[in-house]
Amino acid sequence: MTLLIGIGSDLCDIRRVETVLARFGDRFVERSFTAIERAKAERRTEALRAATYAKRWAAKEACAKALGTGFSQGVFHSDLGVVNLPSGQPTMRLTGGALRRLESLLPPGHRANLLLTMTDEPPYAFAQVMIQAVPEAPDLARPAPESAPNRFA
């Protein structure tokens, strides 16, 4: 059975990100965003760059809320990154303290599934994250225990 572990959402003012980018530039970007996120934003036109960063900022905030920690207990902005699946669907990749927190939330025999949606309607960017615990598939290569009846004998 799939379990809902956490949910978080965040609304970010794109104008605020524009102000921080103008004031701190690369210092802010390098401390807050992963290389993948920076590359994605830098491919955008100047008009779309701040909104791209704002959506990812909102995703990090939403994910920290879904983890139940916010940015404490070893969870940092740099531990949370927006990535895209081959289908183009966005999701989160966690490292460091964020990954350790996520692993501590999972019941035995489950893996995490992080669902992310992001949007913007200037001047705002919005993101929502849901963390699910999904049962791991049984290892079909492992032989059945001897106590289990053999239906094929």
Q: Please give the pLDDT value at position 140.
A: 54
pLDDT-derived band at 128 (thresholds 50, 70, 90) equals: very high
> In terms of residues, how long is the chain?
153
Dihedral angle of Cα 56, 86, 92, 83, to the nearest 10 degrees: -40
Distance separating alpha carbons of residues 17 and 128, to the nearest angstrom: 18
Whether residue 141 is predicted with pLDDT greater than 90 in this model: the reply is no
Distance separating alpha carbons of residues 130 and 67, to the nearest angstrom: 9
Burial class of residue 107 (count of CB atoms within 10 Å of its CB; 0-12, 13-18, 19+): exposed
Cα dist. 62→13, 52, 72, 96 in Å?
A: 14, 16, 14, 17
Task: State the CATH architecture for 3-135.
Answer: Alpha-Beta Complex (3.90)
**Residue extents of the structural domains in the chain:** 3-135
CB 6 within 8 A of CB 67: yes
pLDDT-derived band at 146 (thresholds 50, 70, 90) equals: low
- 48-61: pLDDT as tens digits: 999 999 999 999 99
- 61-79: pLDDT as tens digits: 999 999 999 999 999 999 9
Whether residue 20 is predicted with pLDDT greater than 70 in this model: the reply is yes
- The DSSP output letter for 78 is G
Whether residue 6 is predicted with pLDDT greater than 90 in this model: the reply is yes
pLDDT-derived band at 153 (thresholds 50, 70, 90) equals: very low
Segment 76-100 shows an average pLDDT of 96
Residue 94, helix vs strand vs coil: strand
Q: Please give the pLDDT value at position 47.
A: 87
